[in-house]
Amino acid sequence: MQPAVVNFSAKPRSVELRDVPDATIGEDDVLFEVAAVGVCGSDLHMWTGDQSWKVEYPMVLGHEFAGVIRQVGKRVRGWKEGDRVVSETHAVINPDSPLTRQGLYNLDPGRKGFGAAISGAMTRRVCVPARILHRVPDHVSFEQASLTEPCCVAYNAVVMNSVIRPGDRLLVLGPGPIGVLCAVIAKLNGAQVALAGLERDLPRLNIAKQYGVETIVGDATSWCKHAPGTDGFGVEGVIDATGVSIALKTALDLVRPNGWITKVGWGPQPVNFSLDPLVQKNVRLQGSFSHNWPIWERIIALMASGQLDVTPIIGGVWPLEKWHDAFETMHSGKIVKAVLKPGMEAAGVTI
């Protein structure tokens, strides 16, 4: 048996540390020892019981993980014991789906993700199919590598699903981990970026500032429409990384005619406003979900070259036993990202 952070029912706060059976592997899998696993905004939603996606119970949480291969299955080629790796979240896919054949296995309705449909990584050892492994260079720490997944979400939203030209003005709504990382990636892409949040988001906004991102508390109208050198029509692009549907209305108000909005934040509420401005302004509205193999390789390359340094995003590292402190601290908005280290002795937090 091994300790794991388990979400055991749909009721709010139904998460606890439980002993679960040891992982066993099949011929195409590796036994993955988790060195670091990030807490995702989605883990917090499952903890507070207000997620808008389906979860199987009981479920070991965790899908942002880095570590070491401890055993390889009989048919696995190209990987060996001791390799430093990260894993994609796509635990089960349908290899015969036309989407999979296009490389879009992440969008196939048959896909099952770690920590929501398949037992996740907030534990010591996990079974991972070799097809979703990526190599982590020695000089990238496990803590950094555990942020690959949210970086891939941001890269897909900002780079693959949006068009940014150097100098474009871009507003990101919502300073959760995905919002902050979208702002950081958009800076890499040459945009002028502002990240907007509420008063309680100040600590997270201040972390984004370290990346040269401008920050806004409350109304973003003046940055979008009245800043010196702008023409009053609004920004080229808006990324909605909030978890509330009404943010789309703000995005429609602040985007310029012929601009674009990319929505990466989920929100269960129906929209109760007119989408006519979308038509009148000739605006492109794009959803963005998940990521696939080439995006993972690219994020690791950006981390390896030093172009993407996620260290300031990591607000603290806790042992698995202290998962509750990690979740609470991240939920309070004091930090952007909490990381759990299952191999760490139960002691205080290190930052």
Residues making contact with Zn ion (CB under 5 A): 40
By beta-carbon proximity to Zn ion, the closer residue of 63 and 341 is 63
By beta-carbon proximity to Zn ion, the closer residue of 88 and 168 is 88
What is the nearest approach in angstroms of Zn ion to the Cβ of residue 243? 13
What is the nearest approach in angstroms of Zn ion to the Cβ of residue 177? 8
What is the nearest approach in angstroms of Zn ion to the Cβ of residue 40? 3
Q: Determine the distance from the C-alpha atom of residue 137 to the mean position of all C-alpha atoms in its chain, rounded to a whole number.
A: 21
Give me the numbers of helices (H) and strands (E) for the chain, helices first please.
11, 18
By beta-carbon proximity to Zn ion, the closer residue of 93 and 181 is 181
Is the torsion defined by CA of 25, 29, 32, 37 positive or negative? negative
By beta-carbon proximity to Zn ion, the closer residue of 65 and 223 is 65
Q: Please list the alpha-helical segments (H only) found in the chain.
A: 41-48, 98-101, 142-145, 148-155, 177-188, 202-209, 221, 247-254, 276-280, 293-305, 323-331
By beta-carbon proximity to Zn ion, the closer residue of 44 and 251 is 44
* Residue in the structure block whose two tokens are 């990319």: 262
What is the nearest approach in angstroms of Zn ion to the Cβ of residue 140? 18
The β-bridge relationship of strands 2-7 and 59-60 is antiparallel
By beta-carbon proximity to Zn ion, the closer residue of 43 and 108 is 43
What is the nearest approach in angstroms of Zn ion to the Cβ of residue 150? 5
What is the nearest approach in angstroms of Zn ion to the Cβ of residue 266? 12
Residue nearest to Zn ion (CB): 40
Q: Is the bond leading into 3 cis (omega within 30 degrees of zero)?
A: no
Query: What 8-state DSSP symbol labels residue 175?
Result: -
CA separation for the pair 241, 39 (Å, rounded): 17
Give me the residues paired with residue 68 across strands: 33, 84
